[in-house]
Amino acid sequence: MEPPTSRTLPQLLDELSVRFPDGAAVVGRGQELSYRDLRAQSRAFANGLTELGVGHGDHVALLMQNRPEWLVAFFGIASIGAVAVAINTWATAHELEYMLSHSQARALVTVDRFINNDYLATLVALEPHAERLPKLEHIICLADVDGVPDGVMSFGELLVYQDGPEEAFEIGADPNDVAAMLYTSGSTSTPKGVPIQHFGLIENAWNIGERLGIVVGDRVWLPSPLFWGFGCENALFVSFTHGACLVVQDVFDAGEALRLLEEERCTAVYVTANMVHAVLEHPDFEKRNLTALRTGATLGSPAQIEQAARLAPNICHVYGLTETYANAITTATTDPLEIRQHSIGFPLPGMDVVIADSETHDPVADGEIGEIKIKGYVTPGYYNDPEKNAAAFDDDGYLLTGDLALFGPDGRVYFRGRLKEMVKTGGINVSPIEVEDVLRSHPDVQEAFVTGIADPTHDEIVAAVVVAKHERVSADQLTDFCRQTLASYKVPRAFRFVSADELPVTATGKLQKNRLPEFFAPTNASA
């Protein structure tokens, strides 16, 4: 397939509707929309927004689980040059109020409820909106059962314009316009609004898809949420720039995932390590025919990449941030598994990646660990936050990622952890990944994660949380093993042995390394 010529999202949908009018665009919750269907519904939704007075540059929040209507609303919002603000479906009332207020959203498109969240009740609790959310003028709700209360528009009301004259629709987007804004995790501060532009979503996703070997007609399973960059910036546009179909799962369940993978004949996956583990351990795994699976994207340790390859043999190890349109560095399906396990690959076309000293921001020599900084397909800057922008970009305009890596002799990038995760023991910095790599090479270790824990003498000591393969290997054995390779100050002085299910992960499946020290609290003192 030739790359798309479009540089805005509505143009992309137009192009796909001409090239693959009956090709499946999205499958989910028992629905299947072709590219022609999705274009018609999103244009109707866009016209409905226009009738409400929403226009170019306005912000429209989108609070909805993975389902075809998410895409209808997303492309409808983008089609009039408005900005889709993707909201985390796990957001608390406090977080929802912050994001709606900070983004200055004029409208909210939501579902009535999802899992244990009653969003309409939450919105009632945030009243009076005129005082707490003065910019919010419209609430549009997709209700599966009970309908919507007074003062709230139904999702279907905005689709009544679907049969209107084609010439009534005017595309209001420019390639450099902001298409969407995603919020990053707020674990250490308030969430940051990350604007992303039309052209970058299309161009960078095309490059990612080429590395992953995505082709026309592929069916890409996405259980990861669309509000997350991995879903919206990555899986969605990797699929659409290649004429593939997105198979969305609204709530991750391993048994349901296996059914979808088999019945939809999925060929690619976008998964996190905890999802892979759950699918592989499910009793139905061996019963399902998953031979169509070949590629996809994931992230994690070498052991986790190896596990993911049991699901999709050519799955790729990818690296990126919301700020870098999801991926900036990616392995390829043509790389041997060992490369995909240990490297994050080469920078993508259009990505200028430098490994730099974390204090001076000057490049370090190949083979030396430094901070990853990136130019190219990068957010134009955090929304309404000059202080965070000043801290996040250096004087040359590079985004400072806070991640550590090195360039290997093969020119590939090798991830070495987070800058904030460096362990400082006796005044000396220790890279957790260096120690983890040694521990993982032990034949009885399935997985290992290293952190620092407070120590009155050394400031911190190196500590390891270990998942054993079969029988529980002892701390003494691992200590002796590490001493054969590591300098004495790098050898873990404390071990905790856990099962894979005990590892703390976020709702989107990322390991919460900041919680690893909890295993070493006095109440968890037994090794």
Domain spanning 35-197 has what CATH number? 3.40.50.980
State whether residue 466 is helix, strand or coil: strand
State whether residue 506 is helix, strand or coil: coil
pLDDT single digits (tens) 73-102 = 999 999 999 999 999 998 889 889 999 999
- Report the pLDDT value the prediction gives residue 187, as an integer from 0 to 100: 44
Per residue, the 3-state secondary structure of 34-83, as one string, reads EHHHHHHHHHHHHHHHHHCCCCCCCEEEEECCCCHHHHHHHHHHHHCCCE
What burial class does residue 334 get, using C-beta atoms within 10 Å of its C-beta: 0-12 exposed, 13-18 middle, 19+ buried? exposed
Domain spanning 422-524 has what CATH number? 3.30.300.30
Pick the CATH number of 351-419 from 2.60.40.10, 3.30.300.350, 2.30.38.10, 2.60.300.12: 2.30.38.10
* Mean pLDDT of all residues belonging to the chain: 92
Strand order from edge to edge, sheet including 138-142: 153-154, 138-142, 107-111, 59-63, 83-86, 178-183, 193-197
The full length of the chain comes to 527
Answer for the pair 293, 269: CB distance below 8 angstroms, yes or no.
Answer: yes
pLDDT single digits (tens) 429-482 = 888 988 998 999 999 999 999 999 988 878 899 999 999 987 779 999 999 999
Q: Using the structure block, give the residue that is written with the tokens 């399906």.
A: 333
Q: Using the structure block, give the residue that is written with the tokens 């000059």.
A: 386
State whether residue 114 is helix, strand or coil: strand
What burial class does residue 187 get, using C-beta atoms within 10 Å of its C-beta: 0-12 exposed, 13-18 middle, 19+ buried? exposed
pLDDT single digits (tens) 202-226 = 999 999 999 999 999 999 999 999 9
Q: What is the DSSP string of 290-324?
A: -TT--EEEE---HHHHHHHHHHSTT-EEEE--GGG
Q: What is the CA radius of gyration of the chain?
A: 24
State whether residue 352 is helix, strand or coil: strand
Task: Please give the chain's pLDDT, 527 residues, in tens.
Answer: 899 999 999 999 999 999 999 999 999 999 999 999 999 999 999 999 999 999 999 999 999 999 999 999 999 999 999 999 999 998 889 889 999 999 999 999 999 999 989 999 999 999 999 999 999 999 999 997 778 888 899 999 988 766 555 544 566 789 999 999 999 864 446 789 999 999 999 999 999 999 999 999 999 999 999 999 999 999 999 999 999 999 999 999 999 999 999 999 999 999 998 899 899 999 999 999 999 999 999 998 888 899 999 999 999 999 999 999 999 999 999 999 999 999 999 999 999 999 999 999 999 999 999 999 999 999 999 999 999 999 999 999 999 999 999 999 999 999 998 888 888 887 788 889 889 989 999 999 999 999 999 888 788 999 999 999 877 799 999 999 999 988 888 999 999 999 988 999 876 677 888 899 999 987 665 44
Q: How many CA atoms lie within 13 A of 129 on its CB side?
A: 18
Domain ranges of the chain: 35-197, 351-419, 422-524
Distance, in Å, from the CA atom of 507 to the CA atom of 73, rounded to the nearest integer, reads 24
